[in-house]
Amino acid sequence: MKLVHTLKHLRQHLDAYRHPAVVPTMGNLHDGHIALVRQAKPLGDVTVATIFVNRLQFAPHEDFDTYPRTLEADCARLEAAGCDVVFAPLEAELYPQPQTFKVHPPAVLADILEGHFRPGFFVGVCTIVMKLLSCTQARTALFGKKDYQQLMVIRNMVQQFALPVTIVGGETQRADDGLALSSRNGYLSADERQQAVQLSATLRSVAESLRAGATNFEALGAYSMRDLAEKGWKPDYVEVRRQSDLQPPQAGDKLVVLAAARLGTTRLIDNLEV
Phi, psi of 174 (to 5 degrees): -130, 150
d(CA 221, CA 203): 10
104 a catalytic residue: no
d(CA 139, CA 196): 36
9, 19, 33, 61: which one is catalytic?
A: 33
d(CA 128, CA 124): 6
Helix and strand numbers (H, E) in the chain are 11, 9
Q: Specify whether the CB–CB gap between 81 and 38 falls below 8 A.
A: yes
Q: Specify whether the CB–CB gap between 251 and 234 falls below 8 A.
A: no
d(CA 22, CA 139): 8
Q: CA 137, 140, 142, 148 torsion: positive or negative? A: positive
Q: Specify whether the CB–CB gap between 143 and 131 falls below 8 A.
A: no
The burial of 127, by beta-carbon neighbours within 10 Å (0-12 exposed, 13-18 middle, 19 or more buried), is given as buried
Which active-site residues does the annotation give? 33
